[in-house]
């Protein structure tokens, strides 16, 4: 489950912490939260194992990784988080796709590739869009049209039905 905090109010982060703290750890593992820096900083401080993402958490992870990722170093800011990587910038990440994905998995971080340059809610919304992904990419993707790219129980793409 992906929760989007739509404000930049610390109080909203506090309210969400109050609710999420009541959930068992196995449910928290299935949740990620993203939004502006203020509420996300509260969540990150009070629930460090919860996967969270804001512009600041992305920059604190990815800028150092771009600089020294060739060494295999993964910054601590990349641990226990979620990254939404614009397709246009993915090639700047050392080892993208497989080494990068494996390093992030080892850091308990989910990687979601967003279509294009990361503009508002751009998704991989057609089979044509999916063809732009690296052949061996097995991370997450952002889509707004799962009914077009998802598979039915028989394994055929939804667009063929």
Confidence at residue 96, expressed as pLDDT on a 0 to 100 scale: 95
Confidence at residue 141, expressed as pLDDT on a 0 to 100 scale: 92
Q: How confident is the model at residue 120 (pLDDT cuts 50, 70, 90)?
A: low
Give the model confidence (pLDDT) of 25-53 as tens digits.
Answer: 999 999 999 999 999 999 999 999 899 99
Percent of the chain with pLDDT over 70: 91
Confidence at residue 152, expressed as pLDDT on a 0 to 100 scale: 46
Q: Do residues 77 and 60 lie in contact, with contact meaning Cβ atoms separated by under 8 Å? A: yes
Q: How confident is the model at residue 77 (pLDDT cuts 50, 70, 90)?
A: very high
Q: Do residues 85 and 122 lie in contact, with contact meaning Cβ atoms separated by under 8 Å? A: no
Q: How confident is the model at residue 144 (pLDDT cuts 50, 70, 90)?
A: confident
80 pLDDT more than 70: yes
The helix/strand/coil state of 61 is helix
> What is the pTM assigned to this prediction?
0.83
Which tokens in the block code for residue 156? 């055929």
Q: How far apart are CA 52 and CA 54, in angstroms?
A: 7
Confidence at residue 136, expressed as pLDDT on a 0 to 100 scale: 83
- Mean residue pLDDT across the chain: 89
58-67 long-range Cβ contacts below 8 angstroms, 24+ apart = 58/83, 58/84, 61/109, 62/93, 65/93, 65/94, 66/92, 66/93, 66/94
153 pLDDT more than 50: no
Confidence at residue 1, expressed as pLDDT on a 0 to 100 scale: 87
117 pLDDT more than 60: yes
């Amino acid at each position: 489950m992906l929760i989007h905090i739509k404000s930049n109010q610390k109080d909203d982060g506090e309210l969400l912490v109050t609710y999420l703290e009541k959930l068992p750890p196995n449910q928290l593992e299935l949740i990620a939260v993203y939004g502006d820096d203020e509420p996300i900083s509260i969540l990150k401080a009070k629930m460090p194992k919860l996967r969270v993402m804001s512009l600041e958490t992305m920059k604190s992870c990815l800028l150092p990784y771009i600089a020294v990722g060739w060494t295999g170093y993964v910054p601590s800011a990349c641990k226990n988080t979620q990254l939404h990587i614009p397709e246009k910038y993915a090639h700047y990440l050392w080892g993208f796709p497989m080494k990068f994905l494996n390093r992030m998995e080892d850091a308990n971080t989910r990687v979601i590739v967003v279509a294009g340059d990361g503009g508002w809610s751009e998704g991989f919304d057609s089979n044509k869009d999916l063809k732009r992904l690296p052949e061996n990419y097995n991370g997450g993707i952002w889509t707004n049209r799962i009914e077009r790219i998802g598979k039915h129980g028989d394994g055929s793409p939804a667009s063929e039905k």
